[in-house]
């Protein structure tokens, strides 16, 4: 199975990204063909500072590698190193109806949050479709916030195939119900634009503060605690196996549990969980040459696959005028 997904280099990696997508990608690479990339073209819709984008891209590469992306087994690259996707975006644009894009809620949400309402932002889903279709992605592991984007990609592929003949694989989203939307410290979806993230490579004090400020309800200590819509419970559960989750549930339902203590415990758990990755990340962050080398090799591999689909699309729409 060809599994493909990407991440924007526009902020620091948080628990939502990790559990919603990255960890699942890394787990998939054992038995599948994995395509993973850093979407710096997409980040141009919201990052208008060249230095920041450059840094963000390098940092995202270090994150992904430290967390277990294996460049030998998988194809790992930076989106703009295969500029063919932008050409494909144009070919796809002409079978993409305005209505389809007008229905995209990510666009509206982002504009409400203050991201400029540019044409790039509006056509973001077409570039994302190109990302997926250029590499023949079959399954796309994402968080729930990307569900509609994958549906749009599929619609565009169907429309293209119907218009020009079989060209693209139809992709499917891969969303795991339990971690579809990881909540942030205020209980809303964890998102850097809400300022409610728990960054996985934050320093110890910042991480402690973040965890200690997870919102909790006012249930008295000597009463059972709710587990529905309980942000602390949900975030803690991410780190547990099913048996441990049952145990945690029992603890919440038993009177006497103190939220403050659970938070301290959770902080310790997160800190330890990411410790080996933090160490590995330092190695990459101090070896720019090695990271660049990996990305370059990845781009060469990615390009071979993209050329196949992009050439086929060019041919099928009639750009091979000499034929």
Annotated catalytic residues are: 110, 189, 192
> Which range in 89-97, 128-136, 219-227, 314-322 contacts ligand TYM by CB under 6 A?
128-136
CB 232 within 8 A of CB 214: yes
Closer to ligand TYM by Cβ: residue 89 or 316: 89
By the 8 A CB rule, do 234 and 245 touch? no
134 binds ligand TYM (CB under 6 A): no
Shorter beta-carbon distance to ligand TYM: residue 124 or 252? 124
d(CA 230, CA 160): 44
Which pairs from 113-117 meet CB under 8 Å and 24+ separation? 113/193, 115/45, 115/46
Which of positions 188-247 make contact with ligand TYM (CB under 6 A)? 189-191
Residues whose CB falls within 8 Å of the CB of residue 257, separated by 6 or more in sequence, listed in order: 221, 225, 251
Write out the two tokens for 98.
Answer: 């305005």
* Distance linking the first and last C-alpha atoms of the chain: 34
Would the annotation count 146 as a binding residue?
A: no
Residue 318 assigned ligand-binding role: no
| Spatial separation of the C-alpha atoms in residues 38 and 209, rounded to whole Å | 29
3-state SS, residue 175? coil
Looking at residue 141, what DSSP letter applies? E
38 vs 298: CA distance, rounded Å: 11
Q: Mask of contacts with ligand TYM, 27-66, x by CB under 6 A?
A: ------------x--x------------------------
143 binds ligand TYM (CB under 6 A): yes
Is 74 a binding residue for ligand TYM by CB under 6 A? The answer is no
Whether residue 280 is annotated as binding a ligand: the answer is no
Taking the mean position of all CA atoms in its chain, how far away is CA 320? 36
- The stretch among 17-25, 91-99, 203-211, 274-282 that binds ligand TYM (CB under 6 A) is 17-25
- Residues touching ligand TYM: how many (CB under 6 A)? 25
User: By CB under 6 A, is residue 140 in contact with ligand TYM?
Assistant: yes
Instruction: Specify the residue, 43 or 95, whose C-beta has the smaller distance to ligand TYM.
Output: 43
Q: How far is the CB of 132 from ligand TYM (least distance, A)?
A: 5
Residues in the chain: 323
Closer residue to ligand TYM in complex, CB, 158/223: 158
Residue 182 marked as a ligand binder: yes
Complex with ligand TYM: residue 200 or 257, whichever CB lies closer: 200
Q: Where are the beta strands (DSSP E) in 25-93?
A: 33-38, 75-78
Query: Is residue 20 at the binding interface for ligand TYM, with CB under 6 A as the rule?
Result: yes
Q: Distance between CA 38 and CA 19 in Å, rounded?
A: 17
- On whether the CB atoms of residues 69 and 29 are closer than 8 A, the answer is yes
Site residues, ligand TYM (CB under 6 A): 4-8, 16-17, 20-21, 39, 42, 128, 131-132, 140, 142-143, 145-146, 149, 181-182, 189-191
- Binding-site residues: 8-10, 16-17, 131, 143-145, 182, 189-193
């Amino acid at each position: 199975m060809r599994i493909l997904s990407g991440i924007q280099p526009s902020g620091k990696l948080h628990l939502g990204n990790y559990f919603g997508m990255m960890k699942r990608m890394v787990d998939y690479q054992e038995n599948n063909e994995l395509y993973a990339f850093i979407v710096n073209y997409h980040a141009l819709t919201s990052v208008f500072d060249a230095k920041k984008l450059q840094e963000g891209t390098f940092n995202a590469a270090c994150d992904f590698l430290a967390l277990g992306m294996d460049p030998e087994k998988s194809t790992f690259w930076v989106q703009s190193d295969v500029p063919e996707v932008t050409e494909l975006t144009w070919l796809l644009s002409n079978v993409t109806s305005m209505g389809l894009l007008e229905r995209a809620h990510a666009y509206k949400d982002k504009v409400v949050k203050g991201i400029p309402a540019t044409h790039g932002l509006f056509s973001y889903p077409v570039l994302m479709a190109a990302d997926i279709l250029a590499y023949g992605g079959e399954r796309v592991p994402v968080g729930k916030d990307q569900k509609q984007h994958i549906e749009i990609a599929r619609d565009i592929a169907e429309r293209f195939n119907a218009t020009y003949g079989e060209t693209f694989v139809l992709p499917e989203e891969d969303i795991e119900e339990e971690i579809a939307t990881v909540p942030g410290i205020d209980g809303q979806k964890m998102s850097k634009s809400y300022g409610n993230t728990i960054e996985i490579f934050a320093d110890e004090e910042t991480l402690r503060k973040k965890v200690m400020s997870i919102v909790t309800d006012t249930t008295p200590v000597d009463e059972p605690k709710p587990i529905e819509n309980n942000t602390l419970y949900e975030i803690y559960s991410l780190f547990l196996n099913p048996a441990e989750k049952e145990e945690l549930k029992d603890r919440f339902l038993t009177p006497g549990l103190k939220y403050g203590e659970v938070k301290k415990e959770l902080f310790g758990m997160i800190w330890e969980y990411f410790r080996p990755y933090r160490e590995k990340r330092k190695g990459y962050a101090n070896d720019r040459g090695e990271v660049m080398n990996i990305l370059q090799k990845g781009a060469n591999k990615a390009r071979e696959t993209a050329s196949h689909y992009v050439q086929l699309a060019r041919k099928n729409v009639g750009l091979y005028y000499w034929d």
